[in-house]
Amino acid sequence: MKTIDLNVKTREAGSKIAEDLRRHGFVPANFYAYGVENINVYAKALDLRTIVYTSHKPLVNLHIDDNSEPKKCIVKEIVFDPVTEQITHIDFLGLVENHTLITELPIVLKGTPEGIRLGGKLQQVLHKIKIKTTPEFLSDSIEIDISQLEIGKSVYVRDIQREGWKISLPPDTMICSLKFVRQAAS
């Protein structure tokens, strides 16, 4: 699993303080974990780009005030401004050993299906899946090898079961399928 280091500073709570931070190029954030008091922090907006704008869900080593042991966490929620699309707030969820967490992982399809060469069209219906797991089984994405997928066949949730995961969707939920596409008459 990819790990990214991020330096943050502690801050006071309050909307006026948060607005002032945003005006100066920072993003207010919160760190919370099971059995630990919440910590209000902020980070440089530019530093968050490697965490937010990625196809995977990375593990984050959060360095608070540069002097503490890094806290292992994942991004739980990101809030964007609806007009400017700038990040306005971010929540980090601390990982506690043997404590279950619920997170959403992106689905990454790997390979080129056999059926594409025969005129098939791949349709991905599901792009993310919510799972319940513990930190030791956590992954940054769900990779599915579709190189052997044939025309008329599909991949379902039941095909991606992993040790230590409980998927919140029914097993017969379709992830992707390979359909035959008719050619237009010349």
User: Domain spans of the chain?
Assistant: 3-94, 101-180
- Please say if the pLDDT value at position 84 is more than 70: yes
Is pLDDT at 66 greater than 80 in this prediction? no
| DSSP codes joined into one string, 81-121 | -TTT--EEEEEEEE--TT--EEEEEEEEEES--GGGTTTEE
Name the class of domain 101-180.
Answer: mainly beta
Helix (H, G, I), strand (E, B) or coil at 134: coil
- Please give the single-letter amino acid code of residue 77: E
Segment 91-109, tens digit of pLDDT: 999 888 888 888 888 899 9
Tens of pLDDT, residues 154-179: 999 999 888 888 998 999 999 999 99
123 with 137: CB under 8 angstroms? no
Q: What mean pLDDT do residues 56-60 have?
A: 79
- Using a pLDDT cut of 90, give the percent of the chain over it: 26
Mean of pLDDT values over 62-66: 85
Q: Residue 180's pLDDT is what?
A: 83
Two structure tokens written together for 173: 């939920």
Mean pLDDT for the stretch of residues 136-148? 88
CA dist 5 and 140 (Å) reads: 15
With 80 as the cut, is the pLDDT of residue 185 above it?
no
Best CA proximity match to 103, nearest among 73, 71, 145: 73
CATH number of 3-94: 2.40.240.10
